[in-house]
Amino acid sequence: MANLENLKSIWKQADAITFDVDSTLIQEEGIDELAKFCGKGEEVAAMTRRAMQGQATFRQSLTDRLNIINPSLTQVKQFLSSHPPKLSPGIEALVTALRAHKKQVFLISGGFRCLIAPVAVALDIPLENVFANRLKFYFTGEYAGFDENQPTVENGGKAKVIQYLKNKRGFKSVVHIGDGATDLETISVADLFIGYGGVVVRESVRSGSEWFVTNFDQLLNALDA
Task: Please classify residue 80 by burial: count the beta carbons closer than 10 Å to its beta carbon, then call 0-12 exposed, 13-18 middle and 19+ buried.
Answer: middle
Catalytic sites, residue numbers: 20, 22
Which amino acid belongs to residue 173? S
H or E stretch covering 104 = strand 104-112
* DSSP conformation class of 98: H
**Contact residues for 161 (Cβ-Cβ < 8 A; gap 6+):** 18, 106, 108, 131, 151, 152
* DSSP conformation class of 88: P
DSSP H helices in 70-153: 73-82, 91-100, 113-122
Q: What span, in angstroms and rounded, lies between the C-alpha atoms of 100 and 104?
A: 10
**Contact residues for 71 (Cβ-Cβ < 8 A; gap 6+):** 34, 38, 79, 135, 143
Q: What span, in angstroms and rounded, lies between the C-alpha atoms of 18 and 131?
A: 10
